[in-house]
Amino acid sequence: MKRLTLFFICYISVYNVFAQEQKTIVDSTFIDGVPFKSVNEFYIFGDVAVIGNNILSKDSKKPFNDRLEDNDNIKMKYVDIDDNPETFSSSQATLKLPNDVKKIAYAGLYWTATYAYEKGTRKSQKENYIYRGNGKRSPVLNQIQFKIPDQDYKSITGQVIYDGSTNTTHVINSPYVCYADVTNMLQELNNASGDYTVANVKATEGFLSGGSAAGWMLYVIYQSPTDNPKYISTYNGFALVNHKPVDITFKNFKSVNQGDVKTSIVVSALEGDNNLQYDQCAIIKANKNEFQSLSNGARYQQNFFNSTITNNSIINRDRLPNSENTLGFDIAQLDIPNYNNSLINNSMSETTLRLNTQSDRYYLYFTAFQTEISQAYFNDVVQDNTKTATTQVSVAPEIIRSNPETQPSYNTIEKRKPYQYTKKGLNSKSFNYLKRKKSTVVIGIEGGYYVVTNVFSDATKASRWTANLIKKGFDADVFVNPKNNWNYVYVLRSDTAEDAFKLMEELKTNYRYRDTWIFKANLD
């Protein structure tokens, strides 16, 4: 594994922190990837739009519409629609936004592919195929070309979220995923609607064991008038969905107090085959410990990931090429069929998405969740942020909490005064849960409350993070948990929950340390 870092949504609740920390540690799914982390959270009057396209197909320009064929049996070629000699792969999709958009709040660009070598061949030998690769794989995955409406290509350098070439489980097809925040580029446009083209995404052409696949996705959050405010959160990571389910829990919201709860999700995955069934996308039922498989006219309960790009029940055809079969690349935007609020009930503040399969393994790399929230809850969020903002505001149409590497540059509430710790914090549910929570047994470390800022599987990366904290004046250190061999970087070990909780709350007012949490060890 190249890197395994734990991230958590930790707005206020330590309960959220420990619940997900425990679940992620026992879930071995992420041995074959990296844990999903929160990229950002918005409280906003607005909505989202998502577009994308595949970058490998049977033909470089013609759409591929045979829904009965999988990428395993096709000699794949780069899609290349732009007739530009400086690009070797390119595909296009059209973004359509409503006329009442006030501004673009966020835009995230992702690209992903299987890329073990440049070109592959296969030969039949008895009842099997023998695969051979030609051309050394390029080490540069995160550099592409991106064209926005009415402009020329611009070079984009993104963040490599995962590269499977160093993982023994994935090296045979070496999937990867990259991400770039392109908010500024879209904000500079007078009208962000139009054609977007992504070029020079690298992938394996020809044949690859299990089939080769590639594509890109643009996820956009925009501010516009809506009846109710919304909570919108995005996550990225990389998970092999195979024999064990992958659960992603969404928190930090409160749905509307009465009436129908309108909720939707976006998920994107690599290597979902149309002909292989029994893959599912499910959501937990309200107040019940059971999951409901999602479906619509384009995606079925037992074959959710089926190599299509869909907006609810409609295949998105505003693409070039507009293939019905995207050969192992999926984007699904889906309204939750929340009949009688059976899945998301009024005043709910948590739900869980489950990805599962029984035969068709696939790679999940992105998911997003949005739901209408109560006006009172939105007002509370606004008030809470304005109390700590350097500038008071009377109207806050959008609030964002975001990771430092993906911090948009638009004007929002993000600069805070130093945290003022009060006794109120000691009476919070988060603190009381911390006091009651049973501690974890870790051999070789002193008992206490550890204020943890990051967790790594790679000791070298843990050392770098520790050194960086020390340079900033923290008394940072690291311990290894023998149960999982992960490196926990902490800035305080305290005998008392009060001191640890105080420091955690102070650190979380700085967006660089917003994922700080408390590890309670050897105290029972």
pLDDT tens digits for 440-493?
A: 888 889 999 999 888 877 788 889 889 989 988 898 999 988 877 788 999 999
Mean pLDDT of 116-140: 89
In the structure encoding, which two tokens stand for residue 174, read together? Answer: 């070496």
Query: What's the confidence (pLDDT) of residue 397?
Result: 55
pLDDT band at residue 244 under the 50/70/90 scheme? confident
pLDDT band at residue 398 under the 50/70/90 scheme? low
Mean pLDDT of 499-506: 86
Mean pLDDT of 58-68: 93
pLDDT band at residue 245 under the 50/70/90 scheme? confident
pLDDT tens digits for 174-211?
A: 999 999 999 999 999 999 999 999 999 999 999 998 88
Query: What's the confidence (pLDDT) of residue 204?
Result: 96
The larger pLDDT score, comparing residue 45 to residue 303, is at: 45
Instruction: State the burial class of residue 232 (Cβ atoms within 10 Å of its Cβ: 0-12, 13-18, 19+).
Output: buried
pTM (two decimals): 0.71
Angle separating helix axes 497-507 and 429-436, nearest 10 degrees:
140
In the structure encoding, which two tokens stand for residue 261, read together? Answer: 């709860």
Query: What's the confidence (pLDDT) of residue 384?
Result: 66
pLDDT tens digits for 260-304?
A: 999 999 999 997 555 555 678 999 998 888 899 998 888 888 789
- How high is the mean pLDDT of the chain? 82
pLDDT band at residue 55 under the 50/70/90 scheme? very high
> Is residue 512 scored above 80 in pLDDT?
no
Q: How far apart are CA 21 and CA 23, in angstroms?
A: 6
Closest CA to 364 of 212, 241, 242: 241
- State the amino acid at position 459 in one-letter form: A
pLDDT tens digits for 317-350?
A: 999 999 999 999 999 999 998 989 999 999 999 9
Query: What's the confidence (pLDDT) of residue 7?
Result: 30
* 18-27, long-range: CB < 8 A, 24+ apart: 18/433, 18/434, 18/437, 18/517, 18/518, 18/520, 19/249, 20/249, 21/517, 21/519, 23/247, 23/249, 25/483, 25/484, 25/486, 27/244, 27/246, 27/247
Q: How far apart are CA 61 and CA 63, in angstroms?
A: 7
Query: What's the confidence (pLDDT) of residue 419?
Result: 36
Query: What's the confidence (pLDDT) of residue 90?
Result: 98
